[in-house]
């Protein structure tokens, strides 16, 4: 395994709400190796975006990261001063967001937004930065880049905007790019293009990618390793191959099963019964228990990440009690 | 940002709003103040020591009575008292008042005074507080004719406070109807009505008010004056409300549940009343509350300029007209007090309106009409 | 852009016509005894009065009178003031300048204070400074203009350093140019403060609200994720977006300032359009009232148009359509 570029240990982020303390990031631990793509998968509301924001220390108030460690090249990001953190942002770690229309400043030209980090982090002159910016736009596949440099976001199509975002994120050659649902807001055909672009750029520039998504097919195309998140906690970690071949956690199983047409054509869609728990009131014991068809008495105690094999971990007692892993009759809804 | 999925029991929006309102301290304070003011207006003749036209020219511009607990010999009395006052003229021909400390006049509760009808029905002559004659209790000083300002302020409240409610109601009915019709029927009806509204709204409010005033004869009997003021203020106000209502109707009329109602064959008018109007309700309530101050200020302005309520009737506006002579209020600054009442009332309505808006929906964009 | 402006002007004209027509009719309803004073004067014969009536077409039906008035207005003749025996055009000209002066100084003060204050309050939300400013904003919005004016005049009379009302002192004509400017400036202070207070309060709250909303936007997170210093995030990224809707407010404020300023003008004895209107209404001076309304309407429309043009010009999303 390559050296870990980013190691997250026991990250915990809280929010004060009217209904009590909400803990959307509840003891998250995983790592991102150099030069690889890690997919962070989970349903909406499970805390994936907040995990990314916690790493970047951009959690909006009233949220705050209260404990844990985020070791980037052995430096704990959570202990840095704000000024030091600002040097990391955009230069060492950058971020791509889901909705390019709202993630780009509507009253500033694209070019101006792209060169900002270059001028800031590398002290380049505006002319140098402009050349680099146009280069980046070409690299992400935007035609007539030198003209488009002066466009406003609303003058571009969705796909082009997302490419521009990617250009902006990569402009300083960061070691890690966090892509938060980069294709969710795009048409299916454009999705494929963007994913392909990300793959090419990664191969060329050698950075690590943390790909956050709820879409398993997206993960399948890009990720080397996959981390599955549920209700604020990591429930499974494995290489992409292993995960898809034999998922260990019932939630992951359920995710695969609920993909239409994953098996042969079926009469009814499979859903995971129940609902995601409220981050202010997590159930005791295993968080997935209320929805799990395999659950038994041991589940009253919350499992940590247990080793299935050396490379494949899951937070489920079934990892130890493998004989209980037969499919019960009442599973299908 | 991800959304947090919550599983909750749905509550009626109205009850939710009321609960939120109760938590809003400034709004509740405003509500409390308003209730106190309106009650005082209702019971003005009882609370006021004197009738509004009870003159005593000798006491012209008497200062507020000093209330004492300790008398000239240093003795403490539980019941507060005032002294009789006498005056003489100084070199500016202004009266200078001095206390005559020989006789104490305790402030009594439930005294007999000018006759009046409580709540316009029950004849009585009992007042909440007062002092024995010949002393006068001038809690806030006297005006140029020696009339007690405090009493006149209480009576004035009747006019100033009611004008807001009445005017707003008239504007509301007019604006809601016109706006509802325009928005619902669309087409040339909509265009014609909106052009008319725009024509009215082009004129700066104050100018419009003065121009409308010019449409009436210069002097009118006092009840007619009140009606005239209400008419003028409502006329200014309804156009804006009509436009807003029309906008809301348009957006709601295109919503699915109206299409559904139509698809089932509902009649137009019924649709308007059952589906469209109730949804504009929360907006309208907030908008109205926040526009009442405008009516109060309008009436005050007209009366201040001598174009509204005339003497001897009192409104807070015309009470202030005395204070317009700057050189004079140096000597009797208490004539400014009615303005403070207007100020407090306006502020209370603003607090309440903001509280209501936050209670219904903090993102509501409501202007001050 | 030019075609846009022309279109707006063309739309405004029938509006103004309609408004003036309505106003004319409404005022006629009140009956116009324009010559009560003249009639009482024994030196002026009945024939003379009838002659004047004919000259001004006052014997004809109201609708006809309107068109005579309109015809003259197009020749820039606003009529004749009966109470002052002067041309209305001349009267209005002088007053317009005074009102514009007051409006301009009020807007300047308002914006120069409210914008920075609003930004500060948004960035330091819930701090003491923010709460303080909100409190004063509340008072500013709620306090009636005329009351504040009277209070300030009272205080000024007690303290004695500021003049009490009017635009110029008695010795104005004898002063040097510099002193003249200073003199008008001193007289401007109280009315400007009164008008600016109310306008400032609303504007500051609006600015604060806009900034807060913009600061919640996704692109602000993007900007921070690039490692930009917070100053740049606020004053370059956020401010540019927050200010956009304020531009149209600028124009609208200008228009509404005219209405709100009138009462303050009257209380402070500032010789502007507002005071003129009041005197005209009291004297039932028909043509002055009409002229004043027309100018008021034009200024209002002009303000709105200015607002829309400014908005279109500054927002690239609209400009590039």
Taking CB atoms and an 8 Å limit, are A44 and B1 in contact across chains? no
Residue C321 banded pLDDT, cuts 50, 70, 90: very low
Q: pLDDT averaged over chain B? A: 79
Q: Give the pLDDT confidence score for residue A17 in this predicted structure.
A: 84
Task: Please name the residues in contact with A258: beta carbons below 8 A apart, sequence gap of 6 or more.
Answer: A269, A270, A271, A272
The shortest C-alpha distance from A320 to chain B (Å) reads: 32
C296 contact B CB<8A = yes
The set of chains that have 3 or more CB pairs under 8 A with B is A, C
* Cβ(A197)–Cβ(A220) below 8 Å: no
Residues in chain B closer than 8 A to C138 (CB atoms): 347, 350-351
Residue A208 sits at the chain B interface (C-beta within 8 Å): no
Contact C217/B at CB under 8 A? no
> Does the pLDDT at position B153 exceed 70?
yes
Give A56-67 pLDDT, tens digit per residue: 999 988 888 889
Cβ–Cβ of C217/A102 closer than 8 Å?
yes
Please give the pLDDT value at position B274: 61
Distances (CA, A) of B64 to B68, B333, B338: 12, 10, 14
Quote the pLDDT of residue A209: 93
Q: What is the pLDDT of residues A79-99, one digit of tens each?
A: 999 999 999 998 899 999 988
Are B290 and B355 in contact by the 8 Å Cβ rule? The answer is no
Do residues C295 and C96 touch, judged by C-beta distance below 8 A?
Answer: yes
pLDDT in tens, A46-57: 888 999 999 999
Nearest residue to B222 via CA among B308, B285, B298: B308
Residues of chain C in contact with residue B340, where contact means CB-CB under 8 angstroms, are 147
Q: Residue B368's pLDDT is what?
A: 44
pLDDT at A95: 93
Phi, psi (deg, nearest 5) at residue B18? -65, -35
Query: Which of the given ranges, A200-204, B11-15, C307-311, has the highest pLDDT on average?
Result: A200-204
- pLDDT(C41) > 70: no
Task: Please give the residue of chain C at the shortest CA–CA distance from B329.
Answer: C154
Instruction: Supply the pLDDT for residue B124.
Output: 80
Cα separation, B288 vs A327, in Å, equals 63
Asked which of A2-16, B28-42, B86-100, C47-61 is least confident by mean pLDDT, the reply is C47-61
**Above pLDDT 90, what percent of chain A?**
34
pLDDT number for residue A39: 93
Residue contact C237–A117, C-beta within 8 A: no
Give percent of chain B with pLDDT exceeding 70. 85
User: Which candidate from B198, B326, B340 shows the least CB-CB separation from C15?
Assistant: B198
- HEC profile for B336-362? HHHHHHHHHHHHHHHHHHHHHHHHHCC
C226 to A90: CB separation less than 8 angstroms, yes or no: yes
Q: Which of A109-113, A282-286, B224-228, C81-85 has the lowest mean pLDDT?
A: C81-85
CB contact under 8 A, C226 and A103: no
Least confident range from A179-193, C175-189, C231-245: namely: C175-189
Put simply, whether C149 touches B (Cβ < 8 Å) is: no
Share of chain C above pLDDT 70, in %: 84
Cβ distance of B7 and A46 shorter than 8 Å: no
Chain A residues near residue B6 by CB distance under 8 angstroms: 19, 278
Q: Taking residues C58-80, report their average pLDDT.
A: 77
pLDDT at A333: 43
In tens, the pLDDT along B206-243 reads 888 887 887 777 777 777 888 888 888 888 888 877 88
Considering only CB atoms, which chain B residues are within 8 Å of A276? 5
Q: Which of B3, B6, B7 sits opposite A44 (nearest CB)?
A: B3
Q: Is B212 on the interface with C (CB under 8 A)?
A: yes
pLDDT for res B59: 78
Least confident span in A10-19, B69-78, C46-55, C137-146: C46-55
Q: Quick one: chain B helix, strand, coil %, rounded to 5? A: 60, 15, 25
CA distances from B199 to A211, A289, B196, C9, C260 (A): 58, 67, 5, 15, 19
Q: Which two tokens stand for residue A273?
A: 């019964």
Whole-number pLDDT of residue A330: 47
Average pLDDT over residues B90-96: 74
Is residue C218 less than 8 Å (CB to CB) from chain A? yes
Alpha helices in chain C (DSSP H): 2-29, 36-40, 46-55, 62-74, 88-123, 128-142, 145-159, 177-215, 218-225, 230-232, 239-267, 273-283, 286-314, 316-319
Distances C15 to A16, B195, B232, B246 between C-alpha atoms, Å: 54, 8, 21, 20
Max mean pLDDT among B295-299, B329-333, C286-290 falls in B295-299
- At B365 the pLDDT is 53
Distance from CA of A90 to the nearest CA of C (A): 4
Spell out the residues 6+ positions from residue B279 whose beta carbon is closer than 8 angstroms to its own.
Answer: B248, B252
Contact B339 C151 (CB under 8 A): yes
pTM of the model: 0.75
Instruction: For residues B344-363, give the mean pLDDT.
Output: 82
Question: Looking at per-residue confidence, does A1 or B46 come out higher?
Answer: B46
Indicate the residue of A45, A48, A275 with minimum beta-carbon distance to B4.
A45
Residues 48-107 of C with CB under 8 A from B: none
Distance of alpha carbon C120 from alpha carbon A186, whole angstroms: 38
Here the ipTM equals 0.85
Smallest CA–CA distance from B320 into chain C, residue: C147
β-pair partners for B129: B109
Q: Which pLDDT score, from 0 to 100, does residue A40 have?
A: 93
Sequence-distant (≥ 6) Cβ neighbours of residue A245 within 8 angstroms:
none
CA distance C314 to chain B (A): 23
- Tell me how crowded residue A39 is: count the other CB atoms within 10 A of its CB: 25
* Nearest CB neighbour to C221, from listed A58, A86, A116: A58
Phi, psi of C74 (to 5 degrees): -65, -20
Q: In the prediction, which pLDDT does A331 show?
A: 46
The Cα A247–Cα A237 span in angstroms is 10
Q: Which residues in chain C touch residue B217, judged by CB atoms under 8 angstroms apart? A: 30-31
Average of per-residue pLDDT across B330-334: 82
Is A276 part of the contact surface with chain B (CB cutoff 8 Å)? Answer: yes
Q: Quick one: pLDDT at residue A61?
A: 83
pLDDT score for B260: 67
Amino acid B344: pLDDT: 93
Instruction: Please indicate whether, in this complex, the C-beta atoms of A105 and C218 are within 8 angstroms of each other.
Output: no
Q: Cβ contact (<8 Å) for A104 and C219? A: yes
Contact A12, A67 (CB under 8 A): yes
Q: Which of B1, B2, B5 sits opposite A275 (nearest CB)?
A: B5
Better-predicted residue by pLDDT, A262 or B123: B123
**B3/A275 Cβ within 8 A:** no
Give the residue from B358, B362, B345, B347 showing the smallest Cα distance to B22: B358
CA distance A155 to C317: 9
* Cα–Cα distance measured from residue C178 to residue C183, given in angstroms and rounded to the nearest whole number: 9
Which 3 state secondary structure label does DSSP give B181?
Answer: helix
Q: What is the pLDDT of residue A217?
A: 83
Is the confidence at residue B269, as pLDDT, over 70?
A: no
Quick count: other Cβ atoms within 10 Å of Cβ B57? 10
> Nearest by CB to C228, which of A53, A116, A154?
A116
Does residue A293 contact residue A330 with C-beta atoms inside 8 Å? yes
Q: Is residue C318 over pLDDT 90?
A: no
Chain C residues 154-193 within an 8 A CB cutoff of chain B: 154, 157-158, 164-165
Please report the pLDDT score of residue B312 as a whole number: 84
Q: How far apart are CA C49 and CA C55, in angstroms?
A: 10
Which candidate from A58, A106, A154 shows the least CB-CB separation from C225? A58
Segment A163-176, tens digit of pLDDT: 999 999 999 889 99
Instruction: Indicate the average pLDDT of chain A.
Output: 86
C 267-286: CB under 8 A from B: 267, 274, 277-278, 281-282, 284
- HSE-CB of B254 using CA atoms within 13 angstroms: 7
Q: Which of A89-103, A140-154, B109-123, C258-272 has the lowest mean pLDDT?
A: B109-123
For residue C42, what pLDDT is reported? 67
Of C262, C289, C297, the CB nearest to B206: C262
3-state SS, residue B278: helix
What is the rounded average pLDDT of the residues C105-116? 91
Counting as contact any 3 or more CB pairs under 8 A, the partners of A are B, C
CA B180/CA C60 separation, integer angstroms:
40
A206 backbone φψ class: left, alpha, beta (φ>0; ψ -120 to 50):
left
Burial class (CB in 10 A: 0-12, 13-18, 19+), A61: exposed
Strand duo A176-180 + A208-213: pairing = parallel
Q: How far apart are CA A303 and CA B248, in angstroms?
A: 54
Which of A141-150, A274-283, B214-223, C93-102 bottoms out in mean pLDDT, i.e. has the lowest? Answer: B214-223
pLDDT at C40 exceeding the cut of 90:
no
The chain A residues in contact with chain C (CB within 8 A) are 53, 56, 58, 60, 86-91, 94-95, 97, 99, 102-108, 116-117, 120-121, 152, 154-155, 165, 168
User: Chain A residues with CB inside 8 Å of C223's CB?
Assistant: 105, 116
Whether residues B5 and A48 touch (CB distance < 8 A) is answered with: no
Residues of B in contact with C293 (CB under 8 A): 203, 207, 211
Contacting B residues, span 225-244, partner chain C, CB-CB under 8 Å? none
Distance from CA of C124 to the nearest CA of A (A): 13
Nearest to B207 among C16, C146, C293 (CB): C293
B362 touching A, CB under 8 A? no
**Which pLDDT value is given to residue C312?**
72
CB contacts of C194 in chain B (<8 Å) are none
Residues 324-343 of chain B with CB under 8 A from chain C are 324, 326-327, 329-330, 333, 336, 339-340, 342-343
Write out the DSSP string of A110-177: HHHHHHHHHHHHH---HHHHHHHHHHHHHHTT-TTHHHHTT--GGGS-HHHHHHHHHHHHHTT--SEE
């Amino acid at each position: 395994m390559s050296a870990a570029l980013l190691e997250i240990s026991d990250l915990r982020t809280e929010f004060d709400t009217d209904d009590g303390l909400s803990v959307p990031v509840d003891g998250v631990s995983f790592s991102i190796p150099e030069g690889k793509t890690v997919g962070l998968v989970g349903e909406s509301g499970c805390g994936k975006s907040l995990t990314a924001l916690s790493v970047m220390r951009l959690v909006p108030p009233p949220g705050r990261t209260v404990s844990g460690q985020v070791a980037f090249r052995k430096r704990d990001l959570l202990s840095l001063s704000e000024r030091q953190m600002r040097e990391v942002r955009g230069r060492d770690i950058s971020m791509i967001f889901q909705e390019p229309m709202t993630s780009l400043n509507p009253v500033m030209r694209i070019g101006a937004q792209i060169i900002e980090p270059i001028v800031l982090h590398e002290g380049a002159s505006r002319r140098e930065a402009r050349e680099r910016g146009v280069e980046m736009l070409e690299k992400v596949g935007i035609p007539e880049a030198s003209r488009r440099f002066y466009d406003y976001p609303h003058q571009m199509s969705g796909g082009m905007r997302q490419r521009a975002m990617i250009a902006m994120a990569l402009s300083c050659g960061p070691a890690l790019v966090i892509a938060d649902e980069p294709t969710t807001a795009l048409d299916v055909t454009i999705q494929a293009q963007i994913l392909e672009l990300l793959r090419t750029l990664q191969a060329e520039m050698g950075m690590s990618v943390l790909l956050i998504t709820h879409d398993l097919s997206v993960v399948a195309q890009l990720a080397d390793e996959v981390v599955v998140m549920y209700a604020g906690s990591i429930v499974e970690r494995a290489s992409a191959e292993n995960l898809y071949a034999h998922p260990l956690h019932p939630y992951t199983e359920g995710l695969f099963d609920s993909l239409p047409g994953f098996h042969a054509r079926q009469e009814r869609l499979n859903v995971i019964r129940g609902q995601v728990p409220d981050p202010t009131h997590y159930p005791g014991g295993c968080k997935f228990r209320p929805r799990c068809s395999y659950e038994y008495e041991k589940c009253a105690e919350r499992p940590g990440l247990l080793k299935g094999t050396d490379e494949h971990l899951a937070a489920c007692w079934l990892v130890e009690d493998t004989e209980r892993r037969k499919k019960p009759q009442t599973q299908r809804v | 940002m991800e959304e947090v999925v919550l599983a909750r029991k749905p509550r009626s929006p109205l009850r939710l709003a009321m609960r939120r309102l109760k938590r809003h301290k400034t709004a509740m304070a405003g509500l409390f103040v308003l209730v106190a003011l309106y009650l005082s207006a209702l019971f003005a003749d009882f609370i006021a020591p004197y009738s509004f036209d009870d003159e005593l020219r000798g006491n012209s511009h008497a200062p507020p009575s000093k209330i004492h607990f300790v008398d000239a010999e240093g003795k403490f009395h539980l019941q507060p008292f005032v002294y009789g006052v006498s005056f003489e003229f100084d070199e500016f021909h202004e009266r200078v008042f001095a206390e005559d400390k020989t006789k104490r006049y305790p402030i009594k509760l439930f005294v007999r005074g000018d006759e009046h009808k409580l709540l316009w029905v029950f004849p009585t002559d009992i007042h909440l507080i007062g002092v024995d004659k010949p002393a006068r209790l001038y809690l806030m000083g006297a005006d140029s004719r020696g009339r007690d300002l405090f009493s006149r302020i209480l009576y004035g409240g009747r006019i100033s406070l009611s004008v807001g409610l009445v005017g707003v109601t008239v504007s509301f009915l007019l604006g809601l109807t016109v706006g509802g019709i325009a928005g619902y029927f669309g087409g040339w009806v909509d265009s014609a009505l909106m052009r008319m509204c725009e024509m009215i709204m082009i004129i700066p409010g104050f100018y419009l008010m003065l121009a409308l005033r010019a449409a009436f004869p210069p002097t009118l009997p006092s009840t007619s004056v009140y009606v005239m003021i209400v008419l003028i203020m409502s006329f200014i106000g309804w156009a804006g409300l009509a436009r807003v209502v029309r906008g809301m109707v348009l957006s709601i009329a295109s919503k699915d549940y109206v299409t559904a109602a139509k698809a089932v064959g509902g009649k137009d008018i019924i649709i308007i009343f059952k589906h469209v109007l109730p949804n504009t309700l929360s907006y309208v309530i907030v908008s109205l509350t926040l526009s009442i101050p405008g009516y109060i200020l309008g009436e005050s302005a007209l009366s201040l300029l001598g174009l509204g309520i005339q003497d001897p009737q009192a409104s807070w506006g015309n009470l202030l007209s005395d204070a317009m002579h700057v050189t004079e209020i140096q000597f009797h600054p208490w004539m400014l007090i009615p303005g403070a009442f207007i100020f407090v009332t306006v502020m209370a309505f603003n607090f309440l309106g903001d509280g209501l808006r936050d209670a219904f929906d903090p993102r509501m964009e409501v202007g001050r009409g | 852009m030019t075609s846009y402006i022309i279109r707006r002007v063309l739309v405004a004209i029938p509006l103004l016509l309609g408004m003036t027509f309505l106003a004319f009719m409404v005022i006629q309803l009140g009956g116009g005894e324009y010559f009560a004073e003249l009639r009482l004067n024994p030196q002026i014969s009945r024939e003379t009065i009838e002659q004047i009536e004919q000259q001004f077409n006052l014997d004809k039906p109201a609708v006809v009178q309107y068109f005579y008035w309109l015809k003259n207005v197009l020749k820039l003749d606003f009529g004749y003031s009966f109470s002052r025996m002067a041309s209305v055009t001349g009267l209005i000209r002088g007053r317009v300048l005074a009102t514009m002066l007051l409006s301009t100084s009020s807007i300047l003060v308002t914006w120069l204070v409210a914008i920075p204050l609003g930004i500060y309050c948004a960035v330091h939300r819930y701090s003491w400074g923010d709460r303080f400013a909100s409190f004063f904003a509340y008072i500013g919005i709620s306090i009636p203009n005329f009351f504040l004016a009277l209070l300030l005049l009272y205080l000024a009379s007690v303290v004695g350093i500021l003049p009490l009302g009017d635009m110029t002192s008695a010795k104005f004509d004898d002063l040097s140019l510099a002193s003249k400017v200073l003199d008008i400036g001193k007289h401007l202070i109280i009315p400007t403060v009164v008008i600016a207070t109310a306008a400032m309060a609303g504007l500051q709250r609006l600015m604060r609200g806009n900034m807060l909303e913009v600061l919640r936007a996704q692109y602000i997170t993007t900007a921070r994720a690039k490692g930009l210093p917070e100053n740049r995030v606020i004053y370059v990224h956020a401010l540019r977006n927050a200010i956009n809707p304020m531009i149209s407010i600028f124009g609208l404020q200008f228009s509404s300032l005219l209405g709100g300023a009138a009462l303050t003008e009257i209380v402070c004895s500032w010789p502007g359009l507002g005071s003129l209107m009041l005197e005209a209404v009291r004297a039932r001076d028909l043509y002055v009232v009409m002229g004043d309304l027309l100018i008021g309407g034009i200024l209002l429309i002009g303000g709105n148009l200015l607002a829309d043009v400014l908005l279109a010009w500054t927002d690239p999303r609209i400009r590039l359509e």
